[in-house]
Structure 1
Amino acid sequence: MKDIVIVGGGYVGLSVAVAVKKAAPHLDIELMEAAPAHVWEKDERASAIIAAAINMLKTLELWDEIKDHAQPINEMIVTDSETGEPVKPVFLTFGERGEASDPFAYMIPNVAMVRALRRAADTLGITIRHDAAVTDFSAEGGHAKLTLADGEKIATRLVVACDGVRSRLRDMAGIKTVKFDYGQSGIVTTVAHERLHNGRAEEHFLPAGPFAILPLTGNRSSLVWTERTEDAQRLVDSDDMVFEAELERRFGHHLGKLTLAGGRRAFPLGLTLSRSFIAPRLALAGDAAHGIHPISGQGLNLGFKDVAALAQTIVEADRNGLDIGALDTLERYQRWRRFDTVRMGMTTDVLNRLFSNDIGPLRMARDFGLGVVDRMPRLKRYFIEEASGRTARDLPKLLAGEPL
């Protein structure tokens, strides 16, 4: 019998496996449904990783391999304007006058994170399977049973579902969700530009949704461009000339000439919150537990918070001689993560509804609010610390930079 089977081999699944195995090397951990190298090595996307999650990467001894690819976010500006306005008025700035002593986040290429995590998993002796698809799940007394597509059956004390926002494990366990489709899609691409970004991130609130410019190493930036779903697909399918013209209208000319430096893809945006993060012998983590709007850049960071809380729950239960897959053990993980997740989901939902429109009185009110915050240094420092993930009262050890 396995101790832990993790279904889903992305950042969250790999991080759970590495965190638990480093602290409890005697546990038998198997990870399945992992993407093969020829798939994940083609991922051109990058993610904003908050300071608390960087603490976890450092504690897991992954940062040295990642840091040369990481771009610190030193400053952030927020604007609110029409799509084609040549000058976008800045209503809120973070970081320009030393509000934070160190970067509150870094931009890290996804491939660099996965590469470091895969190497750590291999070094720790974690079994990774690419061709094992789970077709059935059941909990029977002291263990869970998984059935694979080829008929193989696996017994394990705990299953961790990290299989995405459309999680099949979640459905097999009968866990319901709250779902809402925003009618928006996020276009993701990378651009090169003539001038230095100096580590500045920009979030432009436009009528169709936020347009985020996030600094990468060199003269490059990652874009998360929100549009109505039908418009987003039209833009992705258009030729380069049309796409670049629409891009330039939103990006502006402050960084000089723009050149597409990667492919472009559109992802549907919505809110998905699991009504429970646990079931008998099962824990949900990452997008399997929650999917939120990218307006705050917190999606993957919520997943890393899940990793830190779940790994600590498992390791401490094991050290105390408790059943790592029992519901009363997993309840601690759920209590730790559920409120924070629901709060962030509701916050991003409200922000998206507030800013993804061009209603005159509402626009005046939100711009006034942004301006007030910009003139209150203490409040800005609080928001930066909140965004960095370092202010939670009961912070899991890994997020505080402490080993399990």
Structure 2
Amino acid sequence: MLDILVAGGGYTGLSVAVSIKKAAPHLNIMVVDGAPDGAWQKDGRASAIAAAASRLLDALGVWSEILPKAQPINSMVITDSRTADPVRPVFLTFDGNVADGEPFAHMVPNPAMVGPLIEMAKSLGVELRYSTTVDGFRSGPGSVNAHLSSGETLAARLLVACDGVKSKLREIAGIKTVNFDYGQSGIVTTVEHERPHGGVAEEHFLPAGPFAILPLPDNRSSLVWTERTHDADRLVASDDLVFEEELERRFGHKLGTLKVVSGRRAFPLGLTLARAFVAERFALAGDAAHGIHPISGQGLNLGFKDVAALAETIVDADRLGLDIGSLAVLERYQSWRRFDTFRMGVTTDVLNRLFSNDITPIRVARDFGLGLVERMPTLKSFFIRQAAGVSSEGNPKLLQGVLP
């Protein structure tokens, strides 16, 4: 019988397996993923890794492999304007360091993160199975029986669902969600530009939604471009000339000529919060537990917080000789993560509603607020430490760079 079966082999699922196996090598852990082996190498996206998450990855022994391919964010600039405005005044700037030599975040191409996690999992003895999904499960007194797409049935003490925001396993477990559709989509692509970005991230608040420019190595930037869903679909389907013209209107010309160097895709944006994170012998982590607006860049980092809390919960219970799949043990994980997730969901929801409009009184009020924060260094420092994930007391050990 397995100790832990993880459904989903992305960075969240792999991090769950590696963090627990590294701290408790005797536990028997398997990860199954529906994608073919090697499909992760074709992922052209990049993710913002907050300082706390990079500490976690360092504790797992993979950050040294990731860092050479990462781009530190040295500073962040926030503007608020209309798309056609010739000048975009800067209302707020953030210095990028939370400590000497430690940026508050790095931009990392997704394959550069997943690859080292896979190699670490293999070296620790975690079994990885690809082209395989958990199609159903039933929890019993001593184990959960998971039915795989291969036709096999596996018994485990705990099933961890990391199968995305539309989690099939969450539905099978009977866990309800709070859902809201923003009527927006996020266009994700990568561009190459003539001049260096200097490690500066920019977020332009435009009436349709935020337009984020996130620096990557080699004079490239990752874009998260929010538009009303019908406009996003039209832009993604348009020819290259139309797409690049609309892109330049929002990106500007200060970095020179732009060239789109990756495919462009649009993802519908909404708020999804699981009403519970656990059931008997079952736990949700990552996007399966929460899907939030990318306005704050915290979606992935919320997943790493789940990883750290779940790993510490399971490892501590195992050391005490407790049943790692029991609801009594898993309640600790739920209480650790549910309020923080709800708070972040509400925060991103409010920010999106506040900034994704062109109502003059609201625009004046929000610009006054941004200008006020710009003039208060202590408050700016508080916000940057919050974004970096290093300010919360009671953080799980992994977010402090220490194995549980």
The equivalent of 1:340 in structure 2 is 340
Structure 2 partner of 1:179? 179
Q: CA deviation at 1:129?
A: 0.9
Q: Helix, strand or coil for the counterpart of 1:123?
A: helix
Cα distance, 1:91 vs. partner? 0.4
CA positional deviation for 1:84: 2.0
Q: Which residue of 2 aligns with 1:290?
A: 290
Matching of residues 159-308 of structure 1 within 5 Å? 159-308=159-308
Tell me which amino acid in the other structure corresponds to 1:282: F
- Distance in 2, matches of 1:37 and 1:78, equals 40
Deviation (angstroms), 1:100: 5.4
Q: 1:131 deviation in Å?
A: 2.5
Give the Å deviation of 1:152: 1.6
2:35 and 2:132 in contact (8 A); partners too: no
Give the Cα–Cα distance (whole angstroms) in 2 for the partners of residues 337 and 58 of structure 1.
Answer: 22
Q: Are 1:140 and 2:129 an aligned pair?
A: no
Q: Against the structure 1 CA distance between its residues 90 and 259, is the aligned structure 2 distance closer, same or farther, given a 3 Å change threshold?
A: same
Q: Which moved more, 1:196-205 or 1:38-47?
A: 38-47
How far apart in 2 are the matches of 1:18 and 1:382? 31
Partner residue of 2:8?
Answer: 8
Deviation at 1:195, TM superposition (A): 0.9
**Residues in 2 aligned to 1:218 and 1:326: alpha-carbon distance in whole angstroms:** 48
Deviation at 1:48, TM superposition (A): 0.4
Residue of structure 1 in register with 2:39 after alignment: 39
Q: How far off its partner does 1:151 sit?
A: 2.8
Deviations 1:34-59 (A, max 9, x none): 53344211111000000000001111
What does residue range 303-314 of structure 1 map to in structure 2 within 5 Å? 303-314=303-314
Q: 1:86 to 1:100 in 2, by over 3 A?
A: farther
- Tell me the secondary structure at the aligned position of residue 226 of structure 2: strand
The one-character-per-residue Cα deviations of 1:200-227 (angstroms, maximum 9, x if unpaired) are 0000000000000000012110000000
Letter in 2 for 1:393: E
The amino acid that maps onto 1:392 is S
What is the rounded CA distance, in whole Å, between the counterparts of 2:50 and 2:34 in structure 1? 25
Question: Percent of counterpart pairs with the same letter?
Answer: 67
Q: Which residue of 2 aligns with 1:72?
A: 72
Once residues 312 and 318 of structure 2 are traced to their aligned partners in structure 1, the CA distance between those partners, rounded to angstroms, is 10
CA shift at 1:258, angstroms? Answer: 0.7
Q: Which amino acid aligns with 2:111?
A: V
TM-score, normalised via structure 2 length? 0.98
The secondary structure found in structure 2 opposite 1:151 is: coil
SS of the residue corresponding to residue 198 of structure 1 reads coil
1:100, 1:381 within 8 Å by CA — same for their partners in 2? no
Point out where structure 2 has 5 or more consecutive residues left out of the alignment.
none
Contact 2:160-2:282 at 8 Å conserved across structures: yes
Structure 2 contact 285–306 (Cα < 8 Å) conserved? yes
Q: Secondary structure at the match of 2:195?
A: coil
- Select between 140-149 and 199-208 the one with higher mean Cα deviation: 140-149
Q: Secondary structure at the match of 2:43?
A: coil
2:324 counterpart of 1:329: no
Cα pair distance change 1:99/1:90, threshold 3 Å: farther
Asked if structure 2 preserves the Cα contact closer than 8 Å seen for 1:86 and 1:252, the reply is no
Q: Secondary structure at the match of 2:303?
A: helix
Structure 2 distance, partners of 1:112, 1:150, is 29
SS in 1 for 2:35: coil
When structure 1 is superposed on structure 2, of 32-41 and 372-381 the one drifting more is: 32-41
Question: Contact 1:10/1:35 (CA < 8 Å) preserved in 2?
Answer: no
**What's the counterpart of residue 122 of structure 1?**
122
Residue number in structure 1 paired with 2:27: 27
Secondary structure (helix, strand or coil) at the match of 1:387 reads helix
- Residue 58 of structure 2 is matched in structure 1 by 58
Q: In the aligned structure 2, how far is the partner of 1:129 from the partner of 1:327?
A: 27
Output the CA distance in 2 between the equivalents of 1:215 and 1:17. 30
Matching residue of 2:360: 360
Tell me the residue number matched to 1:153.
Answer: 153
Contact 1:324 1:330 (C-alpha < 8 Å) held by counterparts:
yes
Q: Residue 73 of structure 1 contacts residue 200 of structure 1 at CA under 8 Å; is this kept in 2? A: yes
Contact in 2 for aligned 1:100/1:384 (Cα 8 Å): no
Three-state SS of the structure 1 residue aligned to 2:221 is strand
- Structure 1 length-normalised TM: 0.98
Letter in 2 for 1:201: A
Q: 1:91: which partner in 2?
A: 91
Find the aligned partners of 1:46 and 1:149 in 2 and give their Cα distance.
30
The equivalent of 1:107 in structure 2 is: 107
Do 2:98 and 2:388's aligned partners in 1 also have CA atoms closer than 8 Å? Answer: no
Match of 1:318 in 2: 318
Using the alignment, how far apart are the partners of 2:328 and 2:134 within structure 1? 26
Query: Would you say the 8 A contact 1:202–1:214 is kept in 2?
Result: yes
Taking the aligned partners of 2:62 and 2:150, their CA distance within structure 1 comes to 35
